[in-house]
Homo-oligomer: A and B are copies of this chain.
Amino acid sequence: MTDTALPTSLDAFDLAILEFLQRDNATPQRLIGEAVNLSAPAVQRRIRRMEDAGVIAANVALVDPAQVGQPLTLVVEVELVSETAELIDAAKRGFAAVPEVQQCYYVTGEADFVLVMLVPTMAAYEALTRRLFFGNNNVKRFRSLVAMDRVKVGLTVPLKDGVAARTPPRR
């Protein structure tokens, strides 16, 4: 599982295609092609390339948590007691393995980890809490923020900036 993250170069076509796929990856290549002025095969080759290069990390369906019995979202900050490399790694692996932990970031600052969690009920969260935090004596402190509104949830990456600079003309 090594990162095949070579410094891929993306041109305006690639970005335009990504723009589509980030919104709806079921869009037929033909339509994308029409929109960006490219043939379907060209679009297909570019998509393939970006998938191979890891620019496109995955193609997934987004599920509404509320409709599958997980109406509660929490953001949790976790502070550890000891920050040795091994304990940090252990924590990472531990959090990552929990299905309820949708996202986990290892961060600088007042907290060590930020978790985004999904649970059916507060009771379930309380139980999780017990298992994950109280049951781990390397957890010094944690702070729970309950989401009242998932104002914006997605993994869309802004594409307008940041790439242009290091984009050599393709031909």
A residues lining the B interface (CB < 8 Å): 5, 8, 10, 15, 18, 21-26, 53-70, 73, 75, 77, 92, 95-96, 99-111, 113-114, 116, 118, 120, 124, 143-163, 165-166
Contact = CB atoms under 8 A, between A and B. Distances in A.
25 contacts: A5-B66, A21-B63, A24-B58, A24-B60, A25-B59, A25-B60, A25-B61, A54-B64, A55-B67, A57-B62, A59-B59, A69-B162, A70-B162, A95-B151, A99-B156, A103-B152, A103-B154, A104-B151, A105-B147, A107-B145, A109-B143, A114-B147, A118-B157, A124-B161, A124-B162
Given A68-B18, A145-B114, A153 B103 contact: yes
A83 B149 CA distance: 14
A4 to B, nearest CB: 10
A155 B153 contact: yes
Nearest to A161: B120
Nearest to A106: B149
Nearest to A10: B68
What number of copies of this chain does the assembly contain? 2
Interface centre among A58, A92, A110 (most CB of B within 10 A): A58
Contact of A22 (B63, B120, B153): B63
Nearest to A51: B61
Contacts of A118: 157-158
Given A106-B147, A106-B151, A60 B60 contact: yes
